[in-house]
A and B are shown apart, each in its own frame.
Chain A
Amino acid sequence: MTQDLLYSITGIVLFGIGLFGVIAAAHIIRKLIALNTMGIGVFMVLLAAARHGVVTDPVPHAMVLTGIVVAVAGTALCLWLALQLQLLDSPVPEEPP
């Protein structure tokens, strides 16, 4: 019981740190790291809630598994968009015609 509570609280703290970072950080990569940290916090709360003494609830586990894969896809899309934006912004045309 104490273990679940400890990890629930840790998850919420991670979520808070991530939320702060998403809003306050300026660099795009740091924003994404903070967003992923938020995700880890949510996963931790879910997985801590999945434990009922001896029985472990498989439904949150499946949700978290789905969440991890979707999170990496979203991160990749964000990075790709950031790189494309930078290509558009760049004053030096580097691309070969």
Chain B
Amino acid sequence: MFLKLETRETGSDVGLSTLACFLLGVVITTLSAALIIAVIVSDKAAPELASLAMQNLNTSGVENPVTAVLLNFRSYDTLLEIAVLLIVAVAVLPDQCFAGKTSLPAKRFLSRNVKHQVNPVLAGLLKWLVPLALLVGGYLLWIGAYAPGGAFQAGAVIAGAGVALSLAGQHDFTWQTTSVRITLSLGLLVFIVVAAINNLITGTTLQYPVSYAGLFILIIEVAATISIAAILLLLFVCLKAIAEPAREGDTQ
């Protein structure tokens, strides 16, 4: 069943026979029923972690408990997550990055493609929407220390602005330049540098001193926002580039 991946649409989208489907349904229904019974009969976990997090909130440097957990108490998770994102980005990077094509002129990250005509209504909308999305992203980043919001949300909103630009087709993104690659890895680099500095100051990795915690978290969050936005945008643009080789060709 996992051997053959179907990529074309068939009439009925089932890769199994009716009998196998039925057996699978029975097994999964039993499993779900067992899990539901387990949830009903078992008590909830004691809220130890919640009270622990709340007690230590004033030493974390931020006021939003989720941000405190993400970037202070459990910052290993976030460090590794940014590393995972970077690995995916490296996997998806366009081939030209490794082929050593030096004939291409060094373009800027965002270049305007005047040949492509867009609907004036769409162009007018984007003129407002993209700065607004950047503003919202910056606001989410800043508010993350006090209220719901933070690096991931801000990065996603900024990447959304880039996706809108890319879909309109009037702008091209270039991933070949060194500065873009530095931008992609900025979050991980800054995170590691801050951890190393912290190690020099306190002797412990990723356990910030109370007086510097707010500053460290802010630095990491700004860098992480930039990288997350760039990586999410890279994922979309690369998928779109595979999806439209013809159009990518005529914009060169």
Contact = CB atoms under 8 A, between A and B. Distances in A.
Contact of B53 (A20, A58, A72, A87): A58
B92 interface: yes
Given A77-B92, A85-B5, A69 B228 contact: yes
A9 B228 contact: no
B66 A27 contact: no
Interface residues of B, number: 60
Contacts of B53: 57-59
A68 B35 CA distance: 23
B70 A27 contact: no
Q: Is the interface of A mostly helix, strand, loop or mixed?
A: helix
Contact of A16 (B6, B13, B28, B77): B28
Interface size grouping (class) on chain A = 35 or more
A48 B70 CA distance: 19
Given A23-B24, A27-B13, A66 B245 contact: no
Nearest to A14: B32
A24 B39 contact: no
A76 B28 contact: no
B75 to A, nearest CB: 10
Given A55-B51, A58-B68, A77 B88 contact: yes
A68 B15 CA distance: 28
Interface of B: 1, 5-10, 13-16, 21, 24-25, 28-29, 31-32, 35-36, 39-40, 44-45, 47, 49-51, 53-54, 65-66, 68-70, 73-74, 77-78, 81, 84-85, 88, 91-92, 150, 152, 156, 228, 231-232, 235-236, 238-239, 242-243, 245-246, 249
9 contacts: A15-B35, A24-B14, A24-B24, A26-B13, A57-B53, A69-B152, A69-B156, A73-B88, A79-B239
Interface of A: 4-5, 8-9, 12-13, 15-16, 19-20, 23-28, 30-31, 45, 49-50, 52, 55-59, 61-63, 65-66, 68-70, 72-74, 76-77, 79-80, 82-87, 94-96
